[in-house]
Structure 1
Amino acid sequence: MTAVINLKKVVFGTLFSLAALGAMSVQASVTTSPKHHLATTLNYVELEAEQGDKNMQLFLGRAYLEGTNGLKADPLKGMYWLEKAAVDMPEVKTLIGDLFKAGEVLPRDYTQAINWYTQAANEGDVPAMVELGMYYASGASGNEDCGNAIKWFNEAANGGSLESKRNLVWLYATCRDSKMRDGHRALKLAKQVLSRSGTGDAGDYDNLAAAYAACGEFRRAIEAQKTALGKLDDNSSQRYAKFTQRLKLYQQNQTIYSASL
């Protein structure tokens, strides 16, 4: 038994960090050469992985996908191990979605990415919810889908994502779909965001202005937009030009119709 335990310690010494998983990480060893070390322990690593060791499954998945640690790149084997690791682990499903979205170690495939993000989001993973919200709001699905974007940003906001709450303000205030527009809800959320410590930047006041405009309160929209402009450092930037254009619309008692974030 002692020999098995010691071998497991040596094997864990070869595991590298999985930055895409945030807190879930495994560290690389400096005591042996990973290029040769894994080859001598591969059978043991795969045995542990087959028996359900999530760290081993993640390690093998990334090693085979990237062709690292002495293993030849093999996307099929890489996905085999990542899919095993993804069982009951929504954050791993999000990682797989990220890999398909990035198109670096796997072919870029947005359909696959959304499929994995949806699975992860349905299991409660907040980053996956944010990805889905951005996907539907951007029009990448073929057209701007405020309904699904709002759905997932709401879920993410309930899970603690402040940025998702900001996105909800903008969508409720500016969505082209009149059924989804809700100026009063946008204004309520905008004020909630501004009540949080560390908020109150140019974007927050830009959102507040859009919410006031959606409620028909153009005087307050103008005041908030001027505040937003005053918080921008570069008056020659594209962002400054957009903010100025919005101010002109509010001065003409016009609202914004754009779901784009």
Structure 2
Amino acid sequence: MPAVMTLKKVVFSAVLGLAVVGYGTAQASVTTSPENHLLSTLNYVELEAEQGDKNMQLFLGRAYLEGSNGLKADPMKGMYWLEKAAVDMPEVKTMIGDLFKAGQVLPRDNLRAVQWYMEAAKDGDVPAMVELGAYYASGATGKVDCGNAIKWFNEASNGGSLESKRNLVWLYATCSDERMRDGERALKLAKQVLKRTGTGDAGDYDNLAAAYAACGEFRQAIEAQEVAIEKLEETNTQRYVKFENRLKLYQQHQTIYMASL
């Protein structure tokens, strides 16, 4: 029994080492020592997984997908175990979405990624909501879908995602779909963001300026955009040009009509 418990601890530690980091970028590491340790106890591990151990299911799924821990890569087996783990774990659904989006251990498939993100988001997973918001805001469907982008960023913002609130400011202020533009809401959100600790960078003031412009308050928009430019890093030439162009628009009492994040 002690040996069994030790194995379980080793596998569980490896599962905790799995990570999917950043939008569209999957990184994973599954290690045990020695490398063939899993092979010698594979029957036990699979038995535990079949009996519903979610950590074992997740571990086997990634091990088979990556061909790690002495196992030969087998995408079908990998997905079999990951799908079992995902039944009651929305974060695993998001992880599968990330894997399809990254196209590293699974073939790149944005539609399948979105399907998994949707399932995870419906189960309350905030990172999946963020991914969906970014998907619709990026124009991946053929055009920017402000309605769905705002829907999912709102859900994520309510779940505590500060970056989603920032994205909402930009979408409400600049969306080309007049039905979705809402300058007053954009301005309210922009001010809320600036009250948060650790905010107030160039991007936050750029958003604030766009919100003021959407409300027709161009003097305040100009002032906010000038602050945004002052806060920019000198090395970021491309961003500097964009900020300068926006300032010129505000000086001409023009708003922005663009929704890409």
Alpha-carbon contact 1:21-1:95 (below 8 Å) kept: no
How many residues were matched structurally?
253
Q: Deviations over 1:146-176 (max 9, x none)?
A: 0000000000000000000000000000000
Q: Deviations over 1:13-45 (max 9, x none)?
A: 2452112289xx998444xx12x2111100100
Q: What are the residue-to-residue correspondences of 1:1-261 with 2, within 5 Å? A: 3=1, 5-14=2-11, 16=14, 17-20=17-20, 28-30=31-33, 33-34=34-35, 36-234=36-234, 237-261=237-261
* Cα 1:186/1:211, change in 2 over 3 Å: same
* Cα 1:80/1:21, change in 2 over 3 Å: farther
Q: Deviations over 1:66-112 (max 9, x none)?
A: 00001000000000000000011100000000000000000000010
Secondary structure of the structure 1 residue equivalent to 2:106: coil
Alpha-carbon contact 1:137-1:145 (below 8 Å) kept: yes
Q: Distance in 2 between matches of 1:92 and 1:124?
A: 12
Q: Distance in 1 between matches of 2:242 and 2:80?
A: 47
Unaligned runs of 5+ in 1: none
Q: Indicate the larger mover: 55-64 or 226-235.
A: 226-235
Q: Indicate the larger mover: 209-218 or 11-20.
A: 11-20
Q: Distance in 1 between matches of 2:154 and 2:189?
A: 11
Q: Deviations over 1:120-152 (max 9, x none)?
A: 001000000000000000000111000000000
Q: Distance in 2 between matches of 1:147 and 1:10?
A: 49
RMSD over aligned CA atoms reads 1.8
Q: Which amino acid aligns with 1:13?
A: V
Secondary structure of the structure 2 residue equivalent to 1:184: helix
Q: Post-superposition shift, 1:233?
A: 2.1
Q: Distance in 2 between matches of 1:68 and 1:201?
A: 42
Alpha-carbon contact 1:172-1:183 (below 8 Å) kept: yes
* Cα 1:29/1:67, change in 2 over 3 Å: closer
Q: Distance in 2 between matches of 1:209 and 1:28?
A: 48
Alpha-carbon contact 2:30-2:63 (below 8 Å) kept: no
Q: Which amino acid aligns with 1:131?
A: E
TM-score (norm 2): 0.93
Q: Which amino acid aligns with 2:88?
A: D
Q: Distance in 1 between matches of 2:30 and 2:65?
A: 18
Secondary structure of the structure 2 residue equivalent to 1:13: helix
Alpha-carbon contact 2:30-2:69 (below 8 Å) kept: no
Q: Distance in 2 between matches of 1:142 and 1:29?
A: 44
Alpha-carbon contact 2:11-2:56 (below 8 Å) kept: no
TM-score (norm 1): 0.93
Q: Post-superposition shift, 1:8?
A: 3.4
Alpha-carbon contact 2:209-2:222 (below 8 Å) kept: yes
Secondary structure of the structure 1 residue equivalent to 2:184: helix
* Cα 1:39/1:256, change in 2 over 3 Å: same
